Chain A
Amino acid sequence: MTRLRTVLLPPALAVLFAALLCAVALLISGDNPLTALAVMVTQVGAGTTAVDIVNSAAIYYIAALAVAIGFQMKLFNIGIEGQYRLAACVAAIVGGALVLPPVVHTIVILLVGALVGAAWAGIAAVLKAYRGVSEVISTIMLNFVATGLIAFLISTDAYGVLRGNNISTQPIEPSGQVPGIPFGAAGTVFGLLFLAAGLGVAYWFLLNRTRFGFDLKASGESPTAAAAGGVNSRRMVIIALLLSGAVAGLVGLPELLGRDFAYTLTSPTGYGFTGIAIALLGRNNPVGIALGALLWAFLDKSALALDNVGVPREIVLIMQGSIVLSVVVAYEIVRRYELAAEQRLVAAQLRARSEEPEAVGSGGRP
């Protein structure tokens, strides 16, 4: 039960602290924090907000999983952003150009997305494994390269077509689209929500039940001990980053295959960085990440209602920022508190033992 407390308490504390901070900020600027909260909560029931939250959460979830895979090995893949955008762009181009039967068409697009994401991350992986280049630096740089590459790919000189004021790729035929779950006026949930859930389960299984997951965690905890235990660290770096990139490659696809059907100049950006914050908030735990993604999406989507009551919606950015900062602090505080509690427990056990020292002392030897 102490374990559960260690897991749940820090994020709860962090959210509470962040909420207090925002309340103070609102009070200073002369707004009522309770009104703001009430408006945000009631907004969930209004229009398509609830469905929008779920859809956003699914996307955030995939992005955060991609980050978490790297975090397990202390690899900081900041390049999720570039990887998912490039992957979505190339997947859109390939998907728009191909004519295939349903399902097959979709699977091909998903594979292309994953492969492109993995390939883009693979550049950083090879640099890291064979040249010792920090993945932090190389993935940041690759984000910029990806932006430029995308601009070229969707220009009318390459694969783009002009539609109205916007340049986009050739739209994907219905055979490649993924039907959503319609809720009438409340909107349509992305079909690829199930992909996100499946990835979460796969992530948990991989990490806790397989040799690969063990090797990954061992390399993250102690590269020297992992090497002595027969883990090939170079190989692990490459596989971990490829896997992270492949998952990142899927981030843009729920929107591509469920709503937009083409990659455009105005396709959304920033999911990669959101994913980093959510992975931190969820402590790389698949359930924690899911809760974090939902919270984040709620804050994003409900914030739209704040304008109606004259509260600046940027307050949500303050909230999100302070959650991430305070969750890091809260984990440390709770960890120390737990350590002290454990100390008392062990001391009590030792005292109980020392009252029957002979039984303990000779216990192991017949």
Chain B
Amino acid sequence: MAESGESGGEYAVELVGITKRFPGVVANDDINLRVRRGEVHALCGENGAGKSTLMKILYGMQHPDEGVIRVNGAEVHFRSPADAIKAGIGMVHQHFMLADNFTVAENVLLGAEAEHGIGAAARARIAELAGVVGLRTEPGLLVEQLGVADRQRVEIVKVLYRGARTVILDEPTAVLVPQEVDELFDTLRGMREEGYTFLFISHKLDEVRAIADTITVIRRGTSVGTADPRTITSRELAEMMVGSELPDPGSRESTVTDREVLRVEGLSLAGEEGRRPPLSDVDLVVHAGEVLGIAGVEGNGQTELVETIMGMRHASSGRVVLGGKDISRASTLERREAGIGYVPEDRTRHGLLASQPLWANRILGYQTRPPVARGGPFGLLDLPAARRDTERIVAEFDVRTPDVDVPAAALSGGNQQKLVVGRELSGSPVLLIASHPTRGVDVGAQAGIWEELRTARAAGLAVLLISADLDELIGLSDSIAVILRGQLVATADPSTVKPEQLGAAMTGADDAHASEPAGASGGAA
């Protein structure tokens, strides 16, 4: 930490002419990025534009084919993250890498025992850094007892403890509610004053404008320029990222009918021994042409709710009725055949077969139905038809791919998601369950997916939408229910509700202390 005053150019990190080629559709092509010491530098761009790749290169996880990395003016070659850490660069991943059953202090020390040992010196250093980062919990507390915001701070302490002066934050606000975002930003500003440098990756444009000193925009693998957050509007920024006029999110009219499509009554899911049940007594109704949004901090039962409705988990009590038919006991396949489309929250785990070609992925979930299956006693598949229909999805949903024979893993996240959404809207579903349908998806693909959802809704589709993106929820939903600790605790009218109000309901701040972290376990009765 004594090196902060070291000279060597005004830039903490410089990436010059970085090029990286992949077997997918996206590469880094001649990217330039200059981060001044002591600033918060935002990196914006479509997902699949190459942000993650660029950060992995900077963090030593991947090696550039061409280009130069300079840290404090000196050229460096990182062979692994360990090299990057030595050079004072740390990364906080979007998905936290913490051991739940370890304490805060143990998590920080794990793998960094050589820094200050594991005794009093280490404890003192952790306490000091916790002060810097604004982590107010006891270092002896188990990580599983912490909320999301505190876990994030533990991650930041972790990288600082390893000597980082430049911290890469990969979509740090994706898991936070608005109040927590504000707190995080206060912390970042304070740390900036102490000379820390931040590389802030996000595609939430308002947040980027609120926190960044400089913005670099990446589009299709190359840097299109930098912007001053004080003068640029979100809309201009988005247009820089997408490279075209954005569709207007405002204009829409209600298409809600009074025809019930999905009715869930008293749905409960038994928890593990001694744990609070993940779902208790959930009631909800979705009508044809209606989008019902479920708002909630992650880990409050959204995943369980969706997977129970899909039949992947078995409810301990309650009923699921689809179009007047009780499907509580039906298998996942039967539910799909009854007309449920399912966009899972984790497309790589639940939505796609990574090494199989796109046309084989078209079959997944539709093994028994035309156009991809002929049926019959042998359950014959219709491969030519599967290929044709995949080509249709690729064209209609603007999936960018050389052809339908490439493995799904070769596509960028946004294009994978468009393929999944396209597939799940095929075969005229009556209900679509969309879990975070635009997570990790670029602005262009996001607008496209929203448009497809609206079109399908106008045609009478019922949609159950789960999202952590409050703007998306408010923008798409006809009504919103808030889920907290496995229960639906509140409803809101998206035409009047403000994100801050939803955030309060999501954390249970209405009936508890205002700053109580949301992800905290069910200890609070």
**Cα A281 to Cα B249 with chains together (Å):** 56
Check if A343 sits within 8 Å of B381, measured CB to CB: no
| A346 in the interface (beta carbon within 8 A) | yes
Residues of B within 8 A of A215 (CB): 367
| B79 in the interface (beta carbon within 8 A) | no
Complex partner residue of B27 from A214, A226, A350, CB under 8 angstroms: A350
Residues of B within 8 A of A349 (CB): 402
| A347 in the interface (beta carbon within 8 A) | yes
Check if B364 sits within 8 Å of A232, measured CB to CB: no
| A165 in the interface (beta carbon within 8 A) | no
Question: Which range holds the interface residue count of chain A?
Answer: 35 or more
**Cα A143 to Cα B363 with chains together (Å):** 38
| B332 in the interface (beta carbon within 8 A) | yes
**Cα A221 to Cα B360 with chains together (Å):** 12
**Which stretch, A172-180, A254-262, A320-328, A357-365, touches the partner chain B?**
A357-365
Check if A214 sits within 8 Å of B395, measured CB to CB: no
| A339 in the interface (beta carbon within 8 A) | yes
Supposing A210-B379, A357-B220, A361-B244 touch, asked if A346 and B25 sit within 8 A by C-beta, the answer is yes
| B356 in the interface (beta carbon within 8 A) | yes
Residues of A within 8 A of B351 (CB): 225, 228
| B398 in the interface (beta carbon within 8 A) | yes
Digitize A216-233: 1 where CB-to-B-CB distance is under 8 Å, 0 elsewhere: 011001101111111110
**B381 → chain A closest CB, angstroms:** 6
Check if A211 sits within 8 Å of B333, measured CB to CB: no
| B354 in the interface (beta carbon within 8 A) | yes
Check if A227 sits within 8 Å of B398, measured CB to CB: no
Residues of A within 8 A of B364 (CB): 218, 225-226, 229
Check if A362 sits within 8 Å of B350, measured CB to CB: no
Complex partner residue of B367 from A209, A214, A364, CB under 8 angstroms: A214
**Cα A227 to Cα B349 with chains together (Å):** 10
Check if A354 sits within 8 Å of B220, measured CB to CB: yes
Check if B333 sits within 8 Å of A232, measured CB to CB: yes
* Contacts of A313-331 to chain B: CB distance below 8 A: none
Supposing A230-B331, A232-B333, A354-B29 touch, asked if A214 and B363 sit within 8 A by C-beta, the answer is yes
Residues of B within 8 A of A210 (CB): 378-381
**A164 → chain B closest CB, angstroms:** 48
Digitize B362-404: 1 where CB-to-A-CB distance is under 8 Å, 0 elsewhere: 0111011000010000111101000000000001111010100
| A344 in the interface (beta carbon within 8 A) | yes
Supposing A228-B312, A231-B333, A350-B27 touch, asked if A222 and B349 sit within 8 A by C-beta, the answer is yes
| B23 in the interface (beta carbon within 8 A) | yes
| A273 in the interface (beta carbon within 8 A) | no
Check if A342 sits within 8 Å of B23, measured CB to CB: yes
| A212 in the interface (beta carbon within 8 A) | yes
Count of B residues near A, CB < 8 Å?
49
Check if B21 sits within 8 Å of A364, measured CB to CB: no
**Cα A218 to Cα B351 with chains together (Å):** 11
Check if A230 sits within 8 Å of B22, measured CB to CB: no
Check if A225 sits within 8 Å of B353, measured CB to CB: yes
Main secondary structure of the interface of B (DSSP, over half): loop
| B508 in the interface (beta carbon within 8 A) | no
**Cα A365 to Cα B447 with chains together (Å):** 12
Complex partner residue of A350 from B25, B356, B365, B398, CB under 8 angstroms: B25
| B24 in the interface (beta carbon within 8 A) | yes
Check if B21 sits within 8 Å of A343, measured CB to CB: yes
**Cα A215 to Cα B360 with chains together (Å):** 11
Check if A228 sits within 8 Å of B367, measured CB to CB: no
Supposing A214-B360, A214-B381, A229-B364 touch, asked if A365 and B332 sit within 8 A by C-beta, the answer is no
| B342 in the interface (beta carbon within 8 A) | yes
Residues of B within 8 A of A212 (CB): 378-379
Check if B312 sits within 8 Å of A227, measured CB to CB: yes
**B485 → chain A closest CB, angstroms:** 25
**A214 → chain B closest CB, angstroms:** 6
**A171 → chain B closest CB, angstroms:** 38
Residues of B within 8 A of A339 (CB): 23
Complex partner residue of A346 from B310, B360, B396, B402, CB under 8 angstroms: B402
**A94 → chain B closest CB, angstroms:** 29
| B336 in the interface (beta carbon within 8 A) | yes
Check if B244 sits within 8 Å of A230, measured CB to CB: no
Complex partner residue of A343 from B23, B221, B336, B367, CB under 8 angstroms: B23
Residues of A within 8 A of B22 (CB): 343, 346-347
Digitize A229-267: 1 where CB-to-B-CB distance is under 8 Å, 0 elsewhere: 111100000000000000000000000000000000000
Q: Can you list the 10 inter-chain pairs with the closest CB atoms, starting with the nearest?
A: A364-B398, A230-B333, A211-B379, A347-B21, A229-B365, A228-B350, A229-B364, A342-B23, A211-B367, A230-B332
A-B contact pairs, 19 of them (CB 8 A): A209-B380, A211-B381, A212-B379, A214-B360, A221-B355, A225-B349, A226-B364, A227-B312, A228-B310, A228-B351, A229-B364, A230-B334, A343-B21, A343-B22, A343-B23, A346-B24, A349-B402, A357-B220, A364-B396
Given known contacts A232-B333, A354-B220, A364-B398, what 19 new A-B pairs fall within 8 Å (CB)?
A214-B360, A222-B349, A222-B353, A225-B349, A227-B332, A228-B365, A229-B336, A229-B365, A230-B333, A230-B334, A230-B336, A232-B332, A343-B23, A344-B21, A346-B24, A350-B27, A354-B29, A361-B243, A364-B397
